[in-house]
Chains A and B, each alone.
Chain A
């Protein structure tokens, strides 16, 4: 597990938890950033102040490093686009995510 702001560019990861105050957390979740979502870091701005991430629902969201620090993610192997998409979510913790597809390469870390 690592923090979103430390995730390498281009790498995909699954969000495990969002440790922000309730309001902000809710906002992030409404915009698609919530546990169980797969995302990829597309780029950072100068000084690495903010990140540009692409979510599995195809939405792109920009957020600042201050908040990204509090988003814990587990990197997923494999390259390419998003949309593996068969990892079920809702009611599960990220580490329990089960994949129905063989090509799901979620690295289970403890």
Chain B
């Protein structure tokens, strides 16, 4: 049996934790969720010598006084979970601020390793870090790393093993005597309770209490020592605040830690005075007070142009491969159910989705680039003033833009908003940000109905239009349901960094795998179901009638017409046809036939299914030799007004089941869940209807 070492990796956001984890060799990565919440949990498993090392990557956290729900997850883990070693990753560039958090971690008095990352950037500026001095001052092992250059990363593992074998070293961080005296007095009271018997735990809890940590306060609330501890604490607050002339003991401790970290940085980092950095030069241009916003819009516009233009080439190839394979197999395989399921059901459906993989990858790549280079937080800053006008704040921008990729992680990203009102508003309008899975539908409809416009522009317009609608809804929600100011906006702006190609490639690879897996399983099954429902029951009499008629005619094109008529009739009488006709009245005012109606409804399971359903339904009905691809079939069968109405429905109505599940997981109140489930569909229908009528009046 191997010895297991449990490691918690913590650090402030953007210090390079993920990069370090990616750089570890022979590591098995497992991505899941923290129990009960939808915050992503990355676990890494490693084997070295006789040790099984399990590392848990905690969400970025600025300090133990957690502020956002996401930080709370990290804090809860640190306070309550079982682990042997803390690996604290810090950014060498902002060492003093990072060390303030390190100081809080050291209060726990657990085995801790300090990993100072991004040393390459310090070296580039001609600076150096005195590692042994930091070790001496803090009393813990320090490792200098550059995840970018893959330096020092393996040393973390050997240090973990080494530290595991050695006993816990003495604590070296002490506060001002006046504070220490109180800590000791309070700890003594806490030790009377069996929960806080150990000296380390009672000291840590005492410090947290003096820091006015509400979570810890709740912990002692139901214990017999509470009254005594509470009274002592109240007096200490008062006395210390008076002695230090500060408003709160939190400030006193913060000042203490700041002073220690600041001096520590001064003693150990040798850095020349900085000139205007590259980031600042870039910022002068990219977040210019006047030009910043247009530049941002230009980036987004370029992204959608690229999505369409570059994505188009592989799209046509993939489309051709699938339709050729389909017709080849249709002739090659013996006729029968299997043949039909495969060539009329599964292949057209899966093909209809896979052909959009390139577009989706380009979109994700673009969004990833924005994030990785550090531009995303600039964009948040630029948008803060603008978003305020709609009752949101700059930080809501990151979830909103992630919504263009996938709504599920975007809901999770809303956890960086502290204020529950801000979070709910943001989440309620997130569906207006069209996700990557809706892209295929737009591409299809734009190609079919806006062929003589620039398709990239149309896509940009659809995405930005959706986003703008979302903002208007946010404003309405803020005025009607959630009065009050958005939470204060404060956000880190990390320096611009060159993106890591490995990280980008990894991410795209994971996305591709997940996408193909989904297309191969969920969507293939859905396609089979749709095929089955649209192929049965078969009215044999009708078939016989038509076959007789077909036999009698000699004209080839008439034969073909009759055959198509038969197919269309059979489809209409199928189970799916009946369901479609049943729901069609709802969509009739928007000009949808039963096929579009079905496609919209199946889209509630996953947006990709809309296109695959259309693929199957139009492949089965009325195929003639002039309309091979889905695009031209749509053009023949759907009128322009209905197509525009469809775009609007897709843009606004409920997102997929996975996204809805995530929303339910994030928002416990049934009132909001119900509202969320109904209102987008109502808004979508009303708006689509309005636009349909206006277009009709304009003579389309």
- A residues with a Cβ closer than 8 A to B are 20, 22-37, 42-50, 52, 54-55, 57-64, 66-67, 80-83, 85-86, 88-91, 93
Instruction: Tell me the complex Cα distance, A33–B491, Å.
Output: 11
Query: Once bound together, how far apart are the Cα atoms of A56 and B287, in whole Å?
Result: 21
Does B388 contact A43, Cβ atoms closer than 8 Å? Answer: no
Q: Which 8 A-B pairs have the closest CB atoms?
A: A90-B259, A49-B385, A62-B381, A30-B63, A30-B62, A60-B493, A64-B489, A81-B274
Q: Is the CB of B491 within 8 A of A61?
A: yes
Cβ contact within 8 Å between A43 and B385: no
Q: Determine if B638 is an interface residue (Cβ-Cβ < 8 Å).
A: no
B289 to nearest A CB, angstroms? Answer: 5
A64, B284: Cα distance in complex, Å: 19
B115 to chain A, nearest CB (A): 18
**Distance in Å: Cβ of B237 to nearest Cβ of chain A:** 12
Determine the residue in chain B with the shortest Cβ distance to A44: B289
Asked whether, in the complex, the Cβ of B488 is within 8 Å of the Cβ of A61, the reply is no
Whether, in the assembled complex, B627 has its beta carbon less than 8 Å from a beta carbon of chain A, the answer is: no
Which residues of chain A have C-beta atoms less than 8 A from B212's C-beta? Answer: 22
Whether B274 pairs with A22 at a CB distance below 8 angstroms is no
Residue of A23, A30, A48, A88 contacting most chain B CB atoms (<10 Å): A30
Q: Is B393 an interface residue (CB 8 A)?
A: yes
By beta carbon, the residue of chain A nearest B489 is: A64
| Distance of B252 from chain A, by nearest CB (Å) | 8
Asked if residues A62 and B259 are in contact (CB atoms below 8 Å), the reply is no
Is B436 located at the chain interface by the 8 A CB criterion?
no
22 residue pairs of the A-B complex, CB under 8 angstroms, read A26-B63, A27-B67, A27-B488, A29-B258, A30-B65, A30-B101, A31-B490, A45-B289, A45-B381, A46-B289, A46-B292, A49-B385, A50-B385, A57-B96, A62-B381, A64-B384, A64-B394, A64-B490, A80-B273, A81-B273, A83-B271, A91-B255
- For residue B293, CB closer than 8 A to chain A, the reply is yes
Per the bound structure, the CA–CA distance linking A61 and B491 in Å amounts to 6
Tell yes or no: B176 within 8 A of A by CB: yes
Closest chain-A Cβ to B192's Cβ sits at a distance in Å of: 29
B244 part of interface (Cβ distance < 8 Å): yes
In the complex, chain B residues whose CB is within 8 Å of the CB of A48: 385
**CA of A89 to CA of B385, assembled, Å:** 33
Query: Bound complex: CA of A49 vs CA of B594, how far in Å?
Result: 50
Report chain B residues within 8 Å CB of A45. 287, 289, 292, 381-382, 384-385
Residues of chain A contacted by B67 (CB below 8 angstroms): 23, 26-27, 30
Contacts of B255 in A (CB 8 A): 34-36, 89-91
Contact A62 B377 (CB under 8 A): yes
Is B393 within 8 A of A46, CB to CB? Answer: no
Compute how far the CA of A82 lies from the CA of B201 in the bound complex, rounded to whole angstroms.
Answer: 40
Max chain A C-beta neighbours (<10 A), residue from B94, B293, B489, B490? B490
Residue B260 CB within 8 A of the other chain: yes
Tell me which of B275-283, B405-413, B572-580, B616-624 binds A.
Answer: B275-283
Determine if A26 and B289 form an interchain contact, defined as CB atoms under 8 angstroms apart. no
Q: Which residues of A contact B62 (CB under 8 A)?
A: 27, 30-31
- The CA of A34 and the CA of B97, in the complex, are separated in Å by 11
Judge whether B416 is part of the interface by a CB distance below 8 angstroms: no
The residue on B at minimum CB distance from A45 is B385
Contact of B564 with A by CB under 8 A = no
Provide the bound-state CA to CA distance between A84 and B512, in Å: 50
Q: Is the CB of A46 within 8 A of B293?
A: yes
Judged by DSSP, the binding face of B is: helix
**Identity of the chain B residue whose Cβ is nearest the Cβ of A23 in the assembled complex:** B67
Asked if B384 and A62 make an inter-chain contact with CB atoms under 8 angstroms apart, the answer reads: yes
A89 and B258 form a contact (CB under 8 A): yes
CB distance from B263 to the nearest CB of A (A): 8
Q: Are A85 and B388 in contact (CB under 8 A)?
A: no
A61 near B490 with CB under 8 A, answer yes
Can you name 10 extra interface pairs (CB under 8 A) apart from A62-B381, A63-B488, A83-B271? Answer: A23-B67, A30-B63, A31-B490, A36-B255, A42-B280, A42-B283, A43-B289, A60-B279, A62-B493, A91-B176
Contact of B19 with A by CB under 8 A = no
Across-interface contacts of A35 in B (CB, < 8 A): 251, 255
Contact string against A for B residues 231-261, beta-carbon threshold 8 Å, 1 for contact and 0 otherwise: 0000000000000110010110011101110
Residues in B with CB closer than 8 Å to A86 are 266
Closest B-chain residue to A86, C-beta based? B266
The answer to whether B381 and A52 have CB atoms under 8 Å apart is: yes
Report the bound CA distance from A82 to B11 in whole Å: 25
- The answer on a CB contact under 8 Å between A43 and B273 is no
Chain B residues with CB under 8 Å of A49's CB are 384-385, 388
Q: Is the CB of A58 within 8 A of B260?
A: no
Which listed residue (B93, B265, B271, B380) contacts A62, Cβ 8 A?
B380
Select one of B258, B263, B494 contacting A36, CB under 8 A.
B258
| CB of B362 within 8 Å of the partner chain | no
Please indicate the chain A residues that have their CB under 8 angstroms from the CB of B384 in the complex: 45, 49-50, 62, 64
Q: In the complex, what distance in Å separates the CA atom of A30 from the CA atom of B273?
A: 24
How far is B62's CA from A28's CA once the two chains are assembled, in angstroms?
Answer: 10
Contacts of A50 in B (CB 8 A): 381, 384-385, 394, 489
Taking the complex as formed, is B465 at the interface, i.e. its CB lies under 8 A from any CB of chain A? no
For the complex, what is the distance from the CA of A59 to the CA of B256, rounded to whole Å? 20
Q: Smallest CB–CB gap between A92 and chain B, Å?
A: 8
Query: In the docked arrangement, what's the CA distance between A86 and B263, Å?
Result: 9
Judged by a CB distance under 8 angstroms, whether B95 is at the interface is yes
Pair B274/A91 contact, Cβ less than 8 Å:
no
**Residues of A close to B393: CB separation below 8 A:** 64
CA A91 to CA B380, docked complex, whole Å: 35
Indicate which residue in B262, B388, B489 contacts A63 across the interface (CB closer than 8 Å).
B489
Complexed CA–CA distance, A57 and B256 (Å) = 16
> What chain B residues lie within 8 Å of A54 (beta carbons)?
280
Contacts of A83 in B (CB 8 A): 271, 273-274
Q: Within 8 Å CB of A91, what residues of B?
A: 176, 244, 255-256, 259
CB distance from A55 to the nearest CB of B (A): 7
Residues of A within 8 A of B523 (CB): none
Instruction: Give per-residue flags for B91-118: 1 if the beta carbon is below 8 A from chain A beta carbons, else 0.
Output: 0011111001100000000000000000
Complex-state Cα separation, A90 to B244, whole angstroms: 10
A42 to B494, CA, bound (A): 14
Residues of B contacting A80 in the complex (Cβ-Cβ under 8 angstroms):
273
Among the listed A33, A46, A58, which residue makes an inter-chain contact with B385, where contact means beta carbons less than 8 Å apart? Answer: A46
Q: Mark B43-72, 1 if CB is under 8 A from A, else 0.
A: 000000000000000000011010100000
Residues of A within 8 A of B275 (CB): 81
Q: In the bound complex, do residue A34 and residue B254 qualify as a contact, i.e. CB atoms below 8 Å apart?
A: yes
Q: Does B495 contact A (CB under 8 A)?
A: yes
Residues of B within 8 A of A82 (CB): 274
